[in-house]
Amino acid sequence: MKFQMRRQTELYLLAIVVVLSIFLTVMNPKFLTLENLFDLLRNNSFLGIVALGELIVLISGGIDVSFTATATVAQYIMGVIISRTMVNSVLLAFLIPIPIGIALGAINGCLVYYTRVNPVIITISTLNFYYGVLMFISKGTWIYKFPPTFREFAKLKLFTLMSSKGVPFGVSIFTLFWVILGIITFFLLKYLPIGRKIYAVGGNLEAARRAGFNIFRIQLFVYCYIGLLAGVAGFVHAELNQMIQPNAIVGMELDVIAAAILGGASVFGGVGTVGGTFLGVLLIAIVKNGLILMKASAYWHEVIMGSIIVLAASISAYQRKLQIRREKGRFVEEQLF
């Protein structure tokens, strides 16, 4: 009881990450190199950024599965604009997907609030709607003609080291994106009134309503926030791959939700931390990386991901049960014997 439960979750996760890393290093010494680690943090920055948004939605008691479509639509519109105009500015490219993400998020937020339909249903529908419209208009065409600065930007690193083979490597600029957004999200949750209200709404919606909180504003904010992050992540994804395929991102919803839930967030709402989510993303990244290093078939990825989600969700449900039993036990003890 001394430990807060979420702290416990984080410690468990950290232990699992460490054990898994040791195992993978024994299997393949290449795993525990700075080079591989930096690669991991770079390649998973898309996952990490959207997981922060999913975290906020989950804390508020909602869920969003449409962010992959949001990210795709946002990056595709950006791609069309910069490849047609060839404006040689990364900043401009970066600024295009953000308002698109926020707008699509706002649609989700309004639908969730006004229809009172379960957000899973709403966002599955908008996922299909956004994605369907995009496929219809784009006809699935890929975009890979980008201005030079857009290409150069992807190679930016915070610092550069040399590997033993003489190949330069370092911490990617996109890892920095992830870290900064993580810090912003942490700050928002802990020090902004809206952050505390998100926890409150997720903990007890009716109580929040009775306390006079503006539920619409809170839900709108939450879905706009994941929309915004999906926009940024869409940009990061396009940069990392140097091409935009309309079908590249859709399908990754489960990885992201799994990362957040592994990190201690709950589909029941009210709990979750940035640190936990970071570790959750890291765990999923390591598992995937390990499977690649061990040359396992791509289908195994799906099987293992599915198992991890079931496991994580069962553990958190079990913890909930234990906690309820503990409370009951104390209640009886008070008068018994």
Partner 1 sequence: MTNVEEKQFTLSGEPFLQLRHVSKRFGGVQALENVDFEILLGEVHALVGENGSGKSTLVKIATGVLQPETGAEIIIGGKKVTFLTPFEAHHLGIHVVHQDLSLFPNLSVAENIASHFYLEGFRSFVDWRKIWERSTEVMEKLGVSLPLDVEVRKLPIADQQLVAICRAIAGYARLIILDEPTSSLTWKEVNRLFTFIRGLKEQGIAILFISHRLDEVLEISDRVTVLRDGKKVGTFPTRELDQSKLSFLMTGKKLAFTRDTRMHKVAPEVLRVENLSRTNQYRDISFSLRKGEILGIIGPRGSGRTEMALSLFGLNPPDGGKIYVEGKEFRGESVQRAISLGIGYVPENRLLQGLVLDQSVENNLVITVLKKLLEKGRLLDPRRKQEFARQTVKDFGIKASDVEAPVRSLSGGNQQKVVLAKWILTEPRILILDTPTHGVDIGAKESIYQSMVELTEKGLSIILISDEEQEVMMVSDRILVMKGGKIVEEFDARSMAEEDLRRKVRE
Query: 201 vs 224, which CB is nearer to partner 1?
Result: 201
Closest approach of partner 1 to the CB of residue 325, in Å: 13
What's phi and psi for 22, nearest 5 deg?
-60, -45
Residue 235 CA to residue 71 CA, distance in Å, equals 8
Regarding 208 and contact with partner 1 (CB under 8 A), the answer is: yes
Q: Which stretch binds partner 1 (CB under 8 A): 137-145, 164-172, 185-193, 251-259?
A: 185-193
Regarding 202 and contact with partner 1 (CB under 8 A), the answer is: yes
Q: Which stretch binds partner 1 (CB under 8 A): 44-52, 174-182, 192-200, 245-253?
A: 192-200
Query: 289 vs 316, which CB is nearer to partner 1?
Result: 316
Q: Which helix (H) or strand (E) holds 80?
A: helix 67-85
Residues near partner 1 (CB under 8 A), total: 32
Closest approach of partner 1 to the CB of residue 189, in Å: 10
* Given 206, 295, 297, 299, the residue binding partner 1 (CB under 8 A): 206
Query: 77 vs 200, which CB is nearer to partner 1?
Result: 200
Query: 128 vs 214, which CB is nearer to partner 1?
Result: 214
Angle between helix 253-262 and 45-59 (nearest 10): 60
* Given 48, 101, 270, 290, the residue binding partner 1 (CB under 8 A): 270
* Given 203, 252, 301, 305, the residue binding partner 1 (CB under 8 A): 203
Residue 160 CA to residue 237 CA, distance in Å, equals 22
Q: In terms of DSSP bridges, do strands 168-172 and 157-162 run parallel, antiparallel, or are they unpaired? A: antiparallel
Beta partners for 244? 143
Regarding 200 and contact with partner 1 (CB under 8 A), the answer is: yes
Regarding 331 and contact with partner 1 (CB under 8 A), the answer is: yes
Residue 248 CA to residue 236 CA, distance in Å, equals 13
Angle between helix 67-85 and 119-138 (nearest 10): 30
Closest approach of partner 1 to the CB of residue 332, in Å: 5
Beta partners for 172? 157
* Given 1, 91, 167, 298, the residue binding partner 1 (CB under 8 A): 1
Using CA atoms in the order 151, 153, 155, 160, what is the torsion angle rounded to 10 degrees?
160
Residue 123 CA to residue 119 CA, distance in Å, equals 6
Residue corresponding to tokens 């690649």: 292
Angle between helix 97-115 and 67-85 (nearest 10): 150
CB 119, CB 63: distance < 8 Å = yes
Regarding 271 and contact with partner 1 (CB under 8 A), the answer is: yes
Q: Which stretch binds partner 1 (CB under 8 A): 132-140, 277-285, 300-308, 322-330?
A: 322-330
Task: Give every CB contact of residue 295 below 8 A, 6+ residues apart in sequence.
Answer: none
* Given 34, 192, 310, 311, the residue binding partner 1 (CB under 8 A): 192
Maximum separation of any 2 CA atoms in the chain, in Å: 80
* Given 36, 196, 301, 319, the residue binding partner 1 (CB under 8 A): 196
Regarding 336 and contact with partner 1 (CB under 8 A), the answer is: yes
If one counts every other C-beta atom within 10 angstroms of the C-beta of residue 282, the result is: 24
Query: 4 vs 307, which CB is nearer to partner 1?
Result: 4
Contacting positions for partner 1 (CB under 8 A): 1, 4, 190-193, 195-197, 199-200, 202-204, 206-208, 210-213, 270-271, 323, 327, 330-332, 334-337
